[in-house]
Amino acid sequence: MSRFVKVASKSAVACGSSIKVEVNGKEIALFNVDGHFCAIDDTCSHRGGPLSEGSLEGSVVACPWHGWQYDVASGACLTNPAAQQNKYEVKVEGDDILVSA
């Protein structure tokens, strides 16, 4: 059974932005895509860049280091289909955002 952990409040992640959170020792990038929250590994598969610091356009984040792009809803890498980010379940309870990792 998944265990959800509160990581932030909705007000901490504006639409079109992201933050880095930690769940059970894992660094996770939390994104707000038009009010829908998505969570994937924060470390880019290419060279380890912080995806939470990347630019988000729609549901695609670009790594700030070398531009690799990922779909934050699925974790799929659009630059290299062989690469994949872990995706984490997210739920919202009131103003609280919870992630299962």
Where along the chain do its domains lie? 4-100
75 within 8 A of 42, measured Cβ to Cβ: no
As a 3-state breakdown, the chain gives helix, strand, coil percent values, each rounded to 5, of: 5, 50, 45
| Fold observed for domain 4-100 | Rieske Iron-sulfur Protein (2.102.10)
Q: Which of 56, 24, 25 is nearest to 38 (CA)?
A: 56
pLDDT digits (tens, 9 = 90+) for 60-83: 999 999 999 999 999 999 999 999
Q: Which of 94, 92, 96, 85 is nearest to 27 (CA)?
A: 85
**Residue entry with tokens 């020792």:** 25
pTM to 2 decimal places: 0.94
What is the band of 101 on the pLDDT scale with cuts at 50, 70, 90?
confident
Report d(CA 37, CA 39) in Å as an integer: 7
User: What residues contact residue 12 under an 8 Å CB cut-off, 6+ apart?
Assistant: 19, 97
pLDDT digits (tens, 9 = 90+) for 42-66: 999 998 999 999 999 999 999 999 9
Report d(CA 95, CA 99) in Å as an integer: 13
